Amino acid sequence: MEKVGFIGLGIMGKPMARNLLKAGYELCVYDVVEDAVREVVQNGAKAGNSIEEAIDGVDVVVTMLPDSPHVKEVILGEGGVLAYAKKGTIVIDMSSISPTVSQEVAAECKKKGIRFLDAPVSGGEPKAVKGTLAIMVGGKEEDFQKVKALLLKMGSTAVLIGGVGSGNVAKIANQMMVALNIAAMSEAMVLVEKSGVDPEKVYQAIRSGLAGSTVLDSKMPMVLEGDFTPGFRIELHIKDLKNALDCAHLVNSPIPLTAEVMEIMQGLKVAGMQASDHSAIICHYERLADVEVRKEY
């Protein structure tokens, strides 16, 4: 089975690496957090004490990192992937970053004979654990076909969108729609609560109608329980919406609703809720209306 170097074992990377191990891939993993490495080693991975060790002799390198600067440091920086990867290696960056940074990294990879795909994911920790992520890929068709089977061990779908950077454009679009869905749900359910109507019954009534969505079914139960344990943290969604705003300004595509939700999230960050799940967007609306939308026991 193919040898894979896996770099980045955070809230998403850890279960993704575990799913590759379950599928029989030989993994060598690296993360700056040693405890995260030890956990995945217990599942059968080998530990790399450096990026050099993690990618020694591998054909594929997967990176799952927080943001653009981390991706540039890990791949392009001193002691990074490009310093040690053999010619012909396919680097799959599954982080959610700026499309222009993906293109910049790909250009540097090409100079050294390294192939590059940007392949951000959607589904949060629950789908990362289940191996049912939606994977959006940018890059060359031939490179995508070589790693598609690997990607489908971490996701239920893997779609090649276009050239490098297009995967992250798709992820930006996804994150815009998710944020706006949660905000719309929040605004509506606060109105329901303020009107003296049971929000849980309203949720059950509308979830099979046109307003029903994966977002609604994922986030409304969390709201009703008052459980904002992160599947996807507000601070990470802020990062994604920053990428959305930067991309929108670059291509002259106004996104006023996204900008408004970005400011709502910034307000929650100021209130100390940056590590809460993004379903906590409803807390902004609850404060405005002086109510809480919760399950009636």
What count of residues does the chain have? 297
Residues 7 and 141 placed together within one structural domain of the fold? yes
Q: Which of 162, 180, 209 represents a domain boundary (last residue)?
A: 162
- Alpha carbon distance 237, 58 (integer Å): 32
The predicted pLDDT at position 297 comes to 74
Residue in 171, 239, 242, 295 annotated catalytic? 171
Residues 183 and 236 placed together within one structural domain of the fold? yes
Residue type, 264: I
Q: Which of 163, 70, 155 is nearest to 117 (CA)?
A: 163
Residues 186 and 50 placed together within one structural domain of the fold? no
Other CB atoms closer than 10 Å to residue 205's CB: what's the count?
11
Number of domains the chain contains: 2
Q: Which of 101, 127, 162 represents a domain boundary (last residue)?
A: 162
Q: 70 with 19: CB under 8 angstroms?
A: no
Q: Which of 111, 144, 162 represents a domain boundary (last residue)?
A: 162
Q: pTM value?
A: 0.93
Task: Tell me, yes or no, if 171 is annotated catalytic.
Answer: yes
Residues 23 and 67 placed together within one structural domain of the fold? yes
Q: 56 with 84: CB under 8 angstroms?
A: yes
Residues 74 and 10 placed together within one structural domain of the fold? yes
Per-residue pLDDT of the chain in tens (297 residues, 90 and over written 9): 589 999 999 989 999 999 999 999 999 999 999 999 999 999 999 999 999 999 999 999 999 999 999 999 999 999 999 999 999 999 999 999 999 999 999 999 999 999 999 999 998 888 999 999 999 999 999 999 999 999 999 999 999 999 999 999 999 999 999 999 999 999 999 999 999 999 999 999 999 999 999 999 999 999 999 999 988 899 999 999 999 999 999 999 999 999 999 999 999 999 999 999 999 999 999 999 999 999 987
3-state secondary structure 40-83: HHCCCCEECCCHHHHCCCCCEEEECCCCHHHHHHHHHCCCCHHH
Q: 89 with 115: CB under 8 angstroms?
A: yes
CA torsion sign for 39, 41, 45, 48 is positive
The predicted pLDDT at position 237 comes to 95
The predicted pLDDT at position 1 comes to 55
List the structure tokens of 187. Answer: 């605004």
Q: What is the CATH number of the domain that holds 250?
A: 1.10.1040.10
Host domain of residue 76: 3-162
Residues 13 and 157 placed together within one structural domain of the fold? yes
Residue 294 lies in a domain: no
- Write out the H or E segment, with its range, that includes residue 184: helix 166-194
Query: CA gyration radius for the chain?
Result: 20
Distance in angstroms between the alpha carbons of the first and the last residue of the chain: 52
Residues 207 and 137 placed together within one structural domain of the fold? no
3-state secondary structure of 29: strand
